[in-house]
Structure 1
Amino acid sequence: MRSSIIASLLSAVTVVYGYANPMACSGECGNAHDPALIRRDDGKYYRFSTGNKISIHTAPSITGPWTYKGAAIPNGSKINLKGKDDLWAPDVTKVGNTYYLYYSVSSFGSQDSAIGVATSTNLDTWTDLGATGIASKAGKNYNAIDPALYWDGSKFVMSFGSFWGDLFSTNMQNPPVKAAAGAAAIGIAFKPEGEHAQEGAFIAKNGNYHYLFFSFGKCCHFDQNRPAKGQEYKIQVCRSTSATGGFVDKAGKKCTEGGGTTVLESHGFVYGPGGQGVYYDPKLGPVLYYHYVDTRIGYADGQKKFGINQINFSSGWPVV
């Protein structure tokens, strides 16, 4: 009897307190919109984020103390579009001895967008190469922002997209500075309802599955116009045995038909988590990193904080 009561209490706690708070963060933990995280071979951590022509922060530990180091692309992008001096949503990957930093050139609400790339051998100084060949204009069913590179075991795949037809992927050349010749943009996830508020695709491998993480809901300007409860950013996931399609959620619903299992959403002082990625840390194992609003501080975009949670995949689905 006592054991059943304890089990019931634990179950209730799980329902009420379903999400762990972000790990402790010290130093400059703000300025973290759409973060990208990587660790250099010498153990130094680097965080890249939207704003200031892609902000660079470094730290000796994944939890800090984080220090601002300047702009990754201080002269702006070579891509001649509105937004070339206000770059968004970076993604960073190491291939061989070279780091690749992908970024978005666009303006808020526009579909006139392109994905660019810069390279580095040290993560500190970058050479902008400009366009990758992934771009969009009015009339396309996708928006070419929020890039994330992924190696599926045989080829490089770039996921991207925001609103319109939502999330897509395309094959990349090797080395991954350009889209593969003739590569099509293939839809991998779509929310059919409302404004199709889905973006920030990020694919990560665990076991036999490729997991497609994404942000769903309203992302920004919470200090000016907060959405109805539950319509703010949250992080969802689908999975597939292929990195280029067939993603379904935990209930078996196709990701291209509105599927998505929630991994992290507003709770406690955490509001609107999103802009996420997954990093396999040598000490902590898989971690989910993201930005969020700390309601104890403020709701403005510039106040968004850097969040990290460990991920448990033991059930076959990511749990923070």
Structure 2
Amino acid sequence: MVQTWGMVGALSLLPCLSHVHALPEQCLGVCVNSHDPSIIRRGDGTYFRFSTGGRIAIHTAPNITGPWTYRGAALPGGSSINLPGNQDLWAPDVAQVGNQYYLYYSVSTFGSQNSAIGIARSTSLDAGTWTDLGSTGVVSNPSLPYNAIDGNLVNEEGTSNYFLTFGSFWQGIHRVRVTPTKQHGSPYQVAFDPRDPAIEGPTVFKNGEFYYLFFSKGSCCGYDRNRPPAGKEYRIMVCRSTSPVGPFVDKQGRSCRDGGGTLVLGSHDWVYGPGGQGVYRDPVLGPILYYHYVDTRIGFADGQKKFGWNRINFSSGWPVV
């Protein structure tokens, strides 16, 4: 159920919707301009938030609630990948492997399929410590069925197998095995909606016996210029599988490769277009869903998108915010 903004009749839905979705938890400090956030907590308790823009902006905080402070760009010189967009990097995803931190990022331009997923490495997460390693080998062009952006790393529990899940529009979300710095093997499709290909931004999270594939669906951006029809704005969906390679299905058993997907978080109250999500097992709070969203009380511009987060309850076998 999604609120229809600007229609008087939709206002009557607000009390119902507020029971369906929880409001974002507290965020202090710099909480705007946080498109496609990725967070991680360092061993000393410092939280790091990476986001699209500013050559991957880095913010830190002593707590998930903040106060968040801007620390600089992860790649102040841009990317070494020779593609348009290598000075305007998108969709960061940060992961720790051993004593190294890896930052995946996207090089592309809006609406283009000439794209690549790059990677940088650091031992501390701090601004000024990231070394650009260039392309992972995950690239795309108009001859391929996918777009190589929005990379997310997942490890097959108990093994040394790593997979990069990625994709935006075209023929949906794909996955490929990685080392984790380089591609190995061929990408294969894990999620697609042939009736509405507007899916992107995958995140895979292991909880219990299942691997949960979270993804964003709908129109992500430019709401201040042209808002999409009601129900077509960003929202967070999920499918699951007992295997990291799939197949993934939704709560009704529908294949995620044929339009399946169960709603996790959509527009409600003054929250509009939540997406660009990640899932993180916080050592204090447990599993949390984090994302960007528009606060309709503030404005609809991309630069006004706020950082939101909520705890997730998996007790039913499906994530509930």
Q: How does the TM-score come out when normalised to structure 1? A: 0.94
Offset at 1:149? 0.3
Which position in structure 2 is the counterpart of 1:212? 213
1:166 partnered with 2:178: no
List, as ranges, runs of 4+ consecutive aligned residues in structure 1 with deviation greater than 2 Å: 12-16
Q: What is the rounded CA distance, in whole Å, between the counterparts of 2:193 and 2:222 in structure 1?
A: 22
Which position in structure 1 is the counterpart of 2:138? 134
Q: What is the rounded CA distance, in whole Å, between the counterparts of 1:109 and 1:190 in structure 2?
A: 18
Q: Deviations over 1:195-218 (max 9, x none)?
A: x00000100001000000000000
Letter in 2 for 1:130: G
Which position in structure 2 is the counterpart of 1:72? 74
Q: What is the rounded CA distance, in whole Å, between the counterparts of 2:193 and 2:215 in structure 1?
A: 11
Matches within 5 A, 1:227-306: 227-306=228-307
Letter in 2 for 1:69: R
Q: Is the 8 A contact 2:151 2:201 kept in 1?
A: yes
Matches within 5 A, 1:1-320: 17-124=19-126, 125-153=129-157, 154=159, 155-173=161-179, 176-180=180-184, 183-194=185-196, 196-320=197-321
Offset at 1:13? 7.1
**Is the partner of 2:303 in helix, strand or coil?**
helix
Letter in 2 for 1:137: N
Q: What is the rounded CA distance, in whole Å, between the counterparts of 2:245 and 2:200 in structure 1?
A: 16
Identity, in percent, stands at: 62
Q: Which runs of 5+ in 1 are unaligned?
A: 1-11
Which position in structure 1 is the counterpart of 2:5? none
Letter in 2 for 1:263: V
Offset at 1:99? 0.1
Offset at 1:108? 0.1
**Is the partner of 1:128 in helix, strand or coil?**
strand
Letter in 2 for 1:148: N
Cα distance change on mapping 1:240 and 1:123 into 2, 3 Å: same
Q: What is the rounded CA distance, in whole Å, between the counterparts of 2:35 and 2:193 in structure 1?
A: 23
Q: What is the rounded CA distance, in whole Å, between the counterparts of 1:16 and 1:37 in structure 2?
A: 26
Q: What is the rounded CA distance, in whole Å, between the counterparts of 1:118 and 1:150 in structure 2?
A: 17
**Is the partner of 1:185 in helix, strand or coil?**
strand
**Is the partner of 1:84 in helix, strand or coil?**
coil
Q: What is the rounded CA distance, in whole Å, between the counterparts of 1:189 and 1:21 in structure 2?
A: 28
Cα distance change on mapping 1:227 and 1:120 into 2, 3 Å: same
**Is the partner of 1:17 in helix, strand or coil?**
helix
Offset at 1:244? 1.2
Q: Deviations over 1:233-287 (max 9, x none)?
A: 0000000011112100000000000000000000011000000010111111000
Offset at 1:193? 1.2
Cα distance change on mapping 1:15 and 1:105 into 2, 3 Å: closer
Question: What's the Cα RMSD here?
Answer: 1.1
Q: Deviations over 1:63-99 (max 9, x none)?
A: 1000001100000001010000000000000001000
Q: How does the TM-score come out when normalised to structure 2? A: 0.93
Q: Is the 8 A contact 2:216 2:235 kept in 1?
A: yes
Q: Which runs of 5+ in 2 are unaligned?
A: 1-13
**Is the partner of 2:310 in helix, strand or coil?**
strand
Cα distance change on mapping 1:152 and 1:85 into 2, 3 Å: same
